[in-house]
Amino acid sequence: MRELKILAIVIFFTAVVYWGVEPFAHSQMHPHVAPADFAFKDLGVNAKKGDAAKGAETFLNAGCIGCHGVSSQGMAAPMDNASASASFGVVPPDLSTAGAIYDKNFLAALIKDPTKALKVEHKFNESRPHPMIAFFGLGGDLDQEVADIVAYLQSIAPVTPLDDKQVYADACQRCHDIKYDKVMSTTDKTALMAYMGTLPPDLSMMIRSKGAEYLTTFINNPQKQLAGTSMPRVGLNEKAQNQVVAYMEKVGDRKKAEREDLGYKLIGYMVLFTLLAYAWKVKIWREVH
Amino acid sequence: MAEIRKATGFIDWLDQRLAVNKFIKVMMTEYWIPKNINFLWAMGVVLMVLFMILIVSGIFLLMYYKPDINLAFDSVNYTIMQEVEYGWLWRHIHGVSASVIFLVIYIHMFTGIYYGSYKKGREIIWLTGMALFGMFSAEAFSGYMLPWGQMSYWAAQVITNLFGGIPFIGEALVVWIRGDFLVADATLTRFFMLHVLLLPLVILLLIAVHFYSLRVPHVNNQESEEFDFEDEAKKYLEGKKVESKVVPFWPVFLSKDFFVVGVALTIFFYLVCFHYDFAMDPINFEPANNMKTPAHIYPEWYFLWSYEVLRGFFFDIAGVAAMDIGLAAFGFANVIFMLLPFLDRNTDHVAPAHKRPLFFVWFWLLLIDMIVLTVYGKLPPTGNNAWVGFGATITFLVLFILLPIITKMEANCKCNTGGCK
């Protein structure tokens, strides 16, 4: 009985220390932020219904392919990666999958005002323009034209689901390495450094240094977690973003399944050991009590 | 030379050459332990098991780790964690037991304080134990640096920088410890050597002395009762096992230890596989970057209390810089436990804290104060946090200044054999 009382005291103080050092300190150091917003409400809503066929025309007339490739439609990128890095600071994305991985609302806002949608107004202004030029329209109803382009991008997006690594490649690989999966950024490092102001970190271990919860709010809106960061808001829809996080976990925490599986066996073994040890102890101590 | 006759068996053959039977008697079957002790006394064996686990897992990690600032991070996080079969297991075992071992050390230490096991004849046990604590701290810190993560790097900057506060030789000492003007490759390689060779050797030696120092004064017990071990042992050997106050280390005492170790390792493997994150600061999964300071720099949980004493004085007092007062307080905190047997002025009287009213209050205040220091050591030192840290630091210092006074009062009180009612 006395030993149980002592045990309770030991457990109590250990628990207090644990609570203070882990959850409590974390809550003080990393204040809670609002959950990820996949509707991108701050960008307003483009209520126009897009026409994909018209959008294809507008897309060509607007000069999008001056910078962007759409490889699935036979439109190669106008420049190789090295020249694109030198000209824009970062390789412009191929738009083949854009309609599938980015939110529709976000895409519309991005076409009209890239710095606002990407939340990089703190870095780009009149004197340092963002490499993607805002689309001012072809003379008709701007919102309608934008809606058409988005409808076009959605219409050409692959119907079969993309795998996690593919989503990562289309959404993140222009800037970030994942060297533990031998995936390197497509943009030239020197150009990227000059463009971003700092070299975007390798993401191999990011799942363990930041954790899935933080990454979910961070990718969705980097400024919310790290004010002033050069990382733009990516605008991924919920499914695509989950795929990116899943891919990061696959690379950074590859042994998770093995760890959990072995965990049950190790604990099971020790429980058996403990029970046997207890039985032995009772047997031996019977003689001396 | 003893006469060697034809052996009757392998054990006899060994016995004639190594006296194994005698050795087993002295070390195990006739090494007497008081019967009246609780599971807290099993912490020593738990520590020994954890230390063995650390050595074995460390040897496996050593096979793949690269002590080079350009390779260290990836050798741990990629080679060991991803490429090597079960490398993750060894790494988690190593990391988690390094953290858990400190919890058990603290329990072990506070058990010693509570039951007065540092007093009267047991001073050397206490001193070697505290020396072990110091060596384990150095061992933990040097190991923490090796993966060359963000927090390892910055912790190394901060900790090595502390030596700069020592008068006259400070700056030169910092350079000498780092092996460079900054924490760099030279620092990593020497800390690697300390971690895998020199410190473990010293620890092994100290463990041997710590065990040996138990032999003469014997282990204390729950009531701090003094009795004649030889008489009690004689009773036991005569078969009066129930009457005797002692039991042999093997198999009686160890059978209980095995059970406690079993419970401890069950929890341990749960932590290793499902809750390792408490022992691995997420910031250390970012490679060291000397251009980017982490938002908060803090040590692992087991150093937080002394870290908080270090930064508890956040304002200058009477023209002395806050940094210097903090450093002095930090030095005080790190040696004062060592002096406990000499600060306790009630030298003759060994009794558990619940039979020493003033000491009882002192003990729980100390424990609570150290937990407050630990928690606030992790929190950002701003606003109210800074003041709580300051208050807890002052309390810590005052408690140790008061200890000789209250124990002297206790000794002078003649109402019973030491210790007032």
pLDDT of A107-141, one tens digit each?
999 999 999 999 999 999 888 899 999 999 998 89
| Cβ atoms of residues B35 and B246 within 8 Å | yes
Nearest to B252 among A202, A258, A284 (CB): A284
CB contact residues (below 8 A), chain B span 232-291, against chain A: 241-242, 244, 247, 251-252, 255-256, 258-259, 261-263, 265-266, 268-270, 272-274, 278, 280, 282-287
Q: Tell me the average pLDDT across A271-275.
A: 98
Closest chain A residue to B261, measured at CA = A274
- B195-233 burial: b if 16+ Cβ within 10 Å, else e: bbeebbebbeebbeebeebbeebbbbbbebeeeebeebb
The C-alpha R_g of chain A, in whole angstroms, comes to 26
| Cβ atoms of residues B162 and B303 within 8 Å | no
pLDDT number for residue A1: 82
Number of residues in chain B: 421
Residues A222 and A262 in one domain: no
Residues A201 and A286 in one domain: no
Give the residue among B121, B134, B110, B97 at the shortest CA–CA distance from B41: B110
Mutate to test the interface with A, among B378, B382, B384 (most CBs of A within 10 A): B378
Cα–Cα distance measured from residue B12 to residue B9, given in angstroms and rounded to the nearest whole number: 5
- What is the mean pLDDT for each group of 10 consecutive residues in chain B (421 residues)? 88 94 94 95 97 98 97 97 96 97 98 95 96 98 96 94 92 96 96 98 98 94 93 95 95 95 98 95 94 92 97 90 93 96 91 94 98 97 95 98 95 62 47
The C-alpha R_g of chain B, in whole angstroms, comes to 24
Look up the pTM and report it. 0.94
User: How many domains does the structure of chain A reveal?
Assistant: 3
Nearest to B89 among A7, A262, A280 (CB): A262
Residues A12 and A54 in one domain: no
The helix, strand and coil proportions of chain A, stated in percent and rounded to the nearest 5, come to: 60, 0, 40
Cα–Cα distance measured from residue A213 to residue A217, given in angstroms and rounded to the nearest whole number: 7
The number of beta carbons lying within 10 Å of the beta carbon of residue B146 is 21
Q: What is the DSSP string of B111-176?
A: HHHHTTTTSTT-HHHHHHHHHHHHHHHHHHHHHHHTT-BHHHHHHHHHHHHHGGGSTTTHHHHHHH
- Residue A271 belongs to domain spanning: 258-289
| Cβ atoms of residues B301 and B279 within 8 Å | no
The helix, strand and coil proportions of chain B, stated in percent and rounded to the nearest 5, come to: 70, 0, 30
Residues A136 and A265 in one domain: no
Q: Tell me if residue B75 falls in helix, strand or coil.
A: helix
- A112-124 burial: b if 16+ Cβ within 10 Å, else e: bebbbbbbbeebb
Task: Pull the structure tokens for residue B317.
Answer: 């007092």
CB contact under 8 A, A262 and B251: no
pLDDT number for residue B416: 52
| Partner residues linked to A102 by β-bridges | A236
In this predicted model, what pLDDT tens digit does every residue of A85-103 receive, in sequence order?
A: 999 999 999 999 999 999 9
Distances (CA, A) of B258 to A273, B43, B53: 9, 11, 15
Cα–Cα distance measured from residue A3 to residue A112, given in angstroms and rounded to the nearest whole number: 71
> Can you tell me the ipTM of this complex?
0.94
CB contact residues (below 8 A), chain A span 10-39, against chain B: 10, 13-14, 16-18, 20-22, 24-25, 28-29
Pairing of the two strands B32-34 and B246-248? antiparallel
Task: Pull the structure tokens for residue A281.
Answer: 């102890």
Q: Tell me the average pLDDT across A40-53.
A: 92
Nearest to B265 among A255, A270, A285 (CB): A270
Q: Tell me the average pLDDT across A157-161.
A: 94
Cα–Cα distance measured from residue A158 to residue A99, given in angstroms and rounded to the nearest whole number: 9
Identity at B120, one-letter amino acid code: K
In this predicted model, what pLDDT tens digit does every residue of A223-240 receive, in sequence order?
A: 999 999 999 999 999 999
pLDDT number for residue B419: 47
Where residue A30 falls among pLDDT bands split at 50, 70, 90? confident
The C-alpha of A212 sits at a distance from chain B's nearest C-alpha, in angstroms, of 12
Residues of A in contact with B107 (CB under 8 A): 10
Residues 6+ apart with CB under 8 A from B76: B61, B65, B91, B146, B147
Q: Tell me the average pLDDT across A171-189.
A: 96
First to last CA, chain B: 60
A203 has pLDDT over 60: yes
Element (H, E) at B61: helix B43-62
Identity at B222, one-letter amino acid code: Q
Residues A201 and A264 in one domain: no
Structural class in CATH, domain B31-297: mainly alpha
Identity at B319, one-letter amino acid code: G
Give the residue among B135, B136, B139, B132 at the shortest CA–CA distance from B112: B132
| Minimum mean pLDDT range among A28-42, A248-262, B194-208 | A28-42
| B258 CB-side CA count, 13 A | 19
Residues A203 and A286 in one domain: no
Give the residue among B145, B139, B130, B129 at the shortest CA–CA distance from B213: B129
Residues of A in contact with B244 (CB under 8 A): 288
Q: Judge whether A8 is closer than 8 Å to chain B, CB to CB.
A: no
Task: Pull the structure tokens for residue B405.
Answer: 């006074």
Question: In chain B, what are the domain boundaries?
Answer: 1-30, 31-297, 305-421
Residues A188 and A284 in one domain: no
Percent of chain A with pLDDT over 90: 90
Residues 6+ apart with CB under 8 A from B349: B116, B119, B120, B356, B410, B411, B417, B418, B419
pLDDT number for residue A32: 87
Counting Cβ atoms within 10 Å, is residue A289 exposed (0-12), middle (13-18) or buried (19+)? exposed
pLDDT number for residue A21: 96
- B100-119 burial: b if 16+ Cβ within 10 Å, else e: bbbbbbbbbbbbbbbbbbbb
Residues 6+ apart with CB under 8 A from A194: A89
Residues A185 and A212 in one domain: yes
Which residue's structure tokens are 């309609």?
Answer: A99
